[in-house]
Amino acid sequence: MHPTRKKRLTIVLFLLAGIAIAVGLTTYALRQNINLFYDPSQIAAGDAPQDVRIRAGGMVEEGSVQRDPESLKVEFRVTDFNSSVLVEYTGILPDLFAEGQGVVAMGRLNGNGRFVADQVLAKHDENYMPPEVAEALEKASAGVHKAGDSSGSESAY
């Protein structure tokens, strides 16, 4: 390669490396601010500030959803399979909200470890499938559960 071109290429590569390092360090320093939500383990460990608007995200624990028959109030536990946090919310839930589904709740953590949400968003994963397949999978995994395998829920996350 021609020497001047080699020189130019080196300059371009240095430019790219410099920017990559700068941006990398910035995003590393800001990583907690870039995270959209705290997961229940972080909240249990006390990483999340109290009485400040934050987001909490994870899976809605199976069998934890309790609806108030009189109003739109709902309570459920959000879990990451290590810890869980109790969320209370009054309002309309998104269509995709269900037990075993991912959610991101926005609100405040009050003193006694409850998360009071004013907005609940549904989070879904990248696994798309026809309803029949989902049904068949569920049946199969239910069979596995009966056979005494308890690690099935882990892989669902």
Partner 1 sequence: MWQFFHKLGSPKWFFGIANRLMPWLLWGGAALLFAGLIWGLAFAPQDYLQGNSYRIIFIHVPSAFLAQSVYIMMAVAAVVTLVWRMKLADVFVKSVAPVGAVLTFLALFTGAVWGKPTWGTWWIWDARLTSMLILLFLYFGVIALGAAISDEKSSARAVAVLVLVGVVNIPIIKYSVEWWNTLHQPATFKLTEKPSMPAEMWVPLLLSVLGLYLIFGWFACLRMQTEILIRERRTRWVKELVLAGRS
Of the two residues 124 and 146, which places its CB atom closer to partner 1 in the complex?
124
Minimum Å gap between C-beta 28 and partner 1 is: 10
- Rounded CA-CA distance 68/89 in Å is 10
Task: Kindly give, in sequence order, each residue whose CB lies less than 8 Å from that of residue 112, ignoring residues fewer than 6 positions away.
Answer: none
Minimum Å gap between C-beta 55 and partner 1 is: 9
70 sits near partner 1 (criterion: CB under 8 A): no
- Rounded CA-CA distance 138/132 in Å is 10
DSSP-H helix ranges across 30-94: 31-34, 40-44
122 sits near partner 1 (criterion: CB under 8 A): yes
Contact of 87 with 56, CB cutoff 8 Å: yes
- Rounded CA-CA distance 124/128 in Å is 10
Of the two residues 21 and 144, which places its CB atom closer to partner 1 in the complex?
21
The one-letter amino acid code at 100 reads: G
Instruction: Count how many residues are written for the chain.
Output: 157
Question: Binder to partner 1 among 20, 25, 29, 156 (CB under 8 A)?
Answer: 20
By CB under 8 A, how many residues form the interface with partner 1? 42
Question: Binder to partner 1 among 40, 43, 54, 57 (CB under 8 A)?
Answer: 57
Question: Binder to partner 1 among 29, 45, 72, 133 (CB under 8 A)?
Answer: 133
Contact of 60 with 76, CB cutoff 8 Å: yes
Of the two residues 134 and 144, which places its CB atom closer to partner 1 in the complex?
134
Binding site for partner 1 (CB under 8 A): 5, 8-9, 11-12, 15-16, 19-20, 23, 27, 31, 34-39, 57, 93-96, 101, 104, 119-135
